[in-house]
Structure 1
Amino acid sequence: MKFLVLFSTVLTALTSQTVTAAKHFQYTGVSESCAEFGQGNLPGTYNRDYTYPTDASLDFFIKGCSNLIRLPFAWERLQRTLEGELDAEEFSRIDGVVKYVTGRGQNLLLDPHNYNRYRGQLVTPDQLANFWTKLANRYKDNQKVMFGLMNEPHDQPTEDVFKTMQAAINAIRATTAKNLITVPGNAWTGAHSWTKNYYGTSNAEVMATIVDPANNFMFEMHQYLDSDFSGTHDTCQSASIGVESLVAATEWARKLGKKILLGEIGGGDNALCYAALENTMKYMMENSDVWAGYAWWAAGPWWGNYMFSVEPNADSSPKPQWTKFLQRYTQCSA
Structure 2
Amino acid sequence: MTTAATAAALLPALGATASGAVPACSVAYTVANQWTGGFQGGVVVTNNAAPTTSWTLSFDFAAGQKVTQGWNATWTQSGTTVTAASLSYNGTIATGGQVSLGFLGSWTGGNPAPTAFKLNGVTCDEDGTPPTSPPTSPPTSPPTSPPTGPPGDTAPPKLHVSGNKLVDSTGKQVVLHGVNRSGTEFACAQGNGIFDGPVDDAAIDAITSWKGVNAVRVPLNEDCWEGLPYVPAADGGANYIAAITGWVDRLVAHGITPIVELHWTHGTYTGNSAGCSDVDATCQKPMPDAQYAIPFWTSVANTFKSNTSVVFDLFNEPYPDRATSTSEQAWTCWRDGGTCPGIGYQVAGMQSLLNAVRGTGATNVVLMGGLAYSNDLTGWLAHEPTDPTGNLGAAVHVYNFNTCSSASCWDSQLAPVAAKVPLVAGETGENTCAHSFVDSFMSWLDTHQLGYLGWTWNTWDCSSGPSLISSYDGTPTNYGLGLKNHLASLG
Q: TM-score range by the shorter chain?
A: 0.7 to 0.9
Distance in structure 2 (CA, Å) of the matches to 1:305 and 1:72: 19
Once the two structures are superposed, residues 214-243 of structure 1 have per-residue CA deviations (whole angstroms, 9 ceiling, x without a partner) of: 1112111111112x559xxxxxxxxxx432
Of 188, 199, 212, which residue of structure 2 is paired with 1:54?
A: 199
Structure 2 vs 1, CA of residues 53 and 211 (structure 1 numbering), >3 Å: closer, same or farther?
A: farther
Q: Secondary structure at the match of 1:58?
A: helix
Instruction: Specify the alignment match of 1:252 in structure 2.
Output: 416
Once the two structures are superposed, residues 149-205 of structure 1 have per-residue CA deviations (whole angstroms, 9 ceiling, x without a partner) of: 011111353212212111111221121111111112222111xx332xxxxxx4453
Q: Secondary structure at the match of 2:417?
A: helix
Normalized per residue, the structure richer in helix is: 1
| 1:210 is the counterpart of 2:395 | no
| 1:151 is the counterpart of 2:316 | yes
Corresponding letter in the other structure for 1:100 = R
Distance in structure 2 (CA, Å) of the matches to 1:225 and 1:243: 12
Show the 5 A alignment for 1:135-150: 135-150=300-315
Distance in structure 1 (CA, Å) of the matches to 2:176 and 2:469: 19
Larger RCO: 1 or 2 (CA < 8 Å, sep 6+): 1
Structure whose CA Rg is larger: 2
Q: Secondary structure at the match of 1:263?
A: strand
Distance in structure 2 (CA, Å) of the matches to 1:332 and 1:263: 20
Q: Which runs of 4+ in 1 moved over 6 A?
A: none
Instruction: Specify the alignment match of 1:99 in structure 2.
Output: 249
Q: Secondary structure at the match of 1:313?
A: coil
Instruction: Specify the alignment match of 1:63 in structure 2.
Output: 209
Structure 2 vs 1, CA of residues 77 and 306 (structure 1 numbering), >3 Å: closer, same or farther?
A: farther
| 1:224 is the counterpart of 2:404 | no
| 1:90 is the counterpart of 2:251 | no
Structure 2 vs 1, CA of residues 313 and 150 (structure 1 numbering), >3 Å: closer, same or farther?
A: same
| 1:317 is the counterpart of 2:455 | no
Q: Secondary structure at the match of 1:318?
A: coil
* Contact kept? 2:203, 2:473, Cα under 8 Å: no
Q: Secondary structure at the match of 1:36?
A: coil
Instruction: Specify the alignment match of 2:160 in structure 1.
Output: none
Once the two structures are superposed, residues 126-169 of structure 1 have per-residue CA deviations (whole angstroms, 9 ceiling, x without a partner) of: 64222111111111111221111011111353212212111111
Uncovered stretches (5+) of structure 1, i.e. residues with no partner: 1-22, 196-201, 231-240
Once the two structures are superposed, residues 15-63 of structure 1 have per-residue CA deviations (whole angstroms, 9 ceiling, x without a partner) of: xxxxxxxx9971001110112235xxx733243x863643243321123
Instruction: Specify the alignment match of 2:140 in structure 1.
Output: none
Normalized per residue, the structure richer in strand is: 2
| 1:44 is the counterpart of 2:169 | no
Show the 5 A alignment for 1:8-27: 26-27=175-176
Corresponding letter in the other structure for 1:74 = N
Structure 2 vs 1, CA of residues 315 and 280 (structure 1 numbering), >3 Å: closer, same or farther?
A: closer
* Contact kept? 2:206, 2:473, Cα under 8 Å: no
* Contact kept? 1:79, 1:87, Cα under 8 Å: yes
The answer to which of 261-270 and 163-172 deviates more is 261-270
Q: Secondary structure at the match of 1:205?
A: coil
Structure 2 vs 1, CA of residues 187 and 115 (structure 1 numbering), >3 Å: closer, same or farther?
A: farther
* Contact kept? 1:67, 1:331, Cα under 8 Å: no
Deviation at 1:78, TM superposition (A): 0.8
Instruction: Specify the alignment match of 1:11 in structure 2.
Output: none
Q: What TM-score results when the alignment is normalised by the length of structure 2? A: 0.51
The answer to which of 137-146 and 124-133 deviates more is 124-133
Distance in structure 2 (CA, Å) of the matches to 1:321 and 1:252: 29
Instruction: Specify the alignment match of 1:266 in structure 2.
Output: 429
Once the two structures are superposed, residues 238-267 of structure 1 have per-residue CA deviations (whole angstroms, 9 ceiling, x without a partner) of: xxx432331222343145x21211011102
Show the 5 A alignment for 1:117-128: 117=267, 119=280, 123-125=288-290, 127-128=292-293
Structure 2 vs 1, CA of residues 219 and 175 (structure 1 numbering), >3 Å: closer, same or farther?
A: same
Uncovered stretches (5+) of structure 2, i.e. residues with no partner: 1-171, 230-235, 268-278, 324-329, 337-348
Q: Secondary structure at the match of 1:213?
A: coil
Structure 2 vs 1, CA of residues 314 and 113 (structure 1 numbering), >3 Å: closer, same or farther?
A: closer
Distance in structure 1 (CA, Å) of the matches to 2:444 and 2:456: 22
Instruction: Specify the alignment match of 1:189 in structure 2.
Output: 374
Of 448, 451, 456, which residue of structure 2 is paired with 1:287?
A: 448
Q: What TM-score results when the alignment is normalised by the length of structure 1? A: 0.72
Structure 2 vs 1, CA of residues 116 and 62 (structure 1 numbering), >3 Å: closer, same or farther?
A: farther
* Contact kept? 2:301, 2:362, Cα under 8 Å: yes
Corresponding letter in the other structure for 1:187 = A
* Contact kept? 2:317, 2:371, Cα under 8 Å: yes
Among all aligned residue pairs of Structure 1 and Structure 2, give the percentage whose two residues are the same amino acid: 22
Corresponding letter in the other structure for 2:475 = S
* Contact kept? 2:222, 2:266, Cα under 8 Å: no
Equivalent pairs, count:
276
